[in-house]
Amino acid sequence: MNLANIAQARFNMIEQQIRPWNVLDAEVLNLLADVRREEFVPPAHQALAFADLEVPLGQGQYMLAPRLEARMLQDLQVQPHEKVLEIGTGSGYMAALLGRRAHSVLSLERIPELADRARAHLQQAGLHNVEVRVADGSQALSGLGKFNAIVLSGSVPQVPQHLLDLLEVGGRLIAIVGDEPIMSAQLITRVSETALRSTTPWDVNAPRLHGFTEISQFHF
């Protein structure tokens, strides 16, 4: 695609996919216009950069559909002073969006090749407040500290306690939770040291984040 076609495709993505999904936050929409999604998409799938679907990244991993990333970003309401954790770096695109809003972002990716590629994308995009670390976010990790916002860039059967324990008071976690064909976005806020508030603002299906324990469907 030439520059004019890319600009038109990006405009169409925002106006035809993202706004109709109740993403109306001007800052989020401006970010989607500014951060070059096409630079995070594998060369073999450049034609899908602005399509309303999950883009294959290889090794069974996917880049979430644009409307999904936009809605999660809007619902998290990340502030400029905040520290953010992402589980599942993938292409690095969501980390780039978060990095443009937050003070700092730590993004965990379990596949080294994807982590390397994401680092290169983020460097190209000029994001210096985002760290990509090879680690499995489905497992408890020590020494991470606390976070104001956590995003799981893929679906999980349930949100594990070790991630909830990383939330500061006032911190928010957003994840897509459940099993096909019924999954919902779950927004969890830590309202005190001992209490959490959870809402399910919208329904959607999304590819799995690998490593998270599946819930048995059999009951005896």
Average pLDDT score over the chain = 95
Using pLDDT thresholds of 50, 70 and 90, give the confidence band for residue 101: very high
- Give the integer Cα–Cα distance in Å for 123 and 193: 36
Q: Is the pLDDT of residue 220 over 50?
A: no
Helix (H) or strand (E) holding 168: strand 167-179
pLDDT in the model for residue 219: 47
- Give the integer Cα–Cα distance in Å for 57 and 96: 17
Place of tokens 């602005």: 50
Looking at per-residue pLDDT, the higher value among 28 and 3 belongs to 28
Q: Is the pLDDT of residue 3 over 90?
A: no
Place of tokens 């390397």: 116
pLDDT in the model for residue 13: 98
- The distance of Cα 64 from the centroid of its chain, to the nearest Å, equals 8
pLDDT in the model for residue 216: 58
Q: Is the pLDDT of residue 179 over 80?
A: yes
Q: What is the mean pLDDT of residues 159-174?
A: 97
b/e per residue 87-106 (b: at least 16 CB within 10 A): bbbbbbbbbbbbbbbbebbb
Domains and CATH numbers, the chain: 3-199 (3.40.50.150)
Per DSSP (E only), the strands in 64-137 are 83-87, 104-109, 130-134
Identify the sign of the CA torsion 127, 174, 158, 63.
negative
* 191-218 residue pLDDT tens: 999 999 999 999 999 999 988 877 655 4
Strand order in the sheet with 104-109: 130-134, 104-109, 83-87, 147-156, 167-179, 182-190, 196-199
Structure tokens at 25: 């936050």
- Give the integer Cα–Cα distance in Å for 149 and 70: 15
CA nearest to 153, candidates 162, 144, 161, 163 = 163
* 23-47 residue pLDDT tens: 999 999 999 999 999 999 999 999 9
pLDDT in the model for residue 217: 55
pTM of the model: 0.95
Q: Is the pLDDT of residue 123 over 80?
A: yes
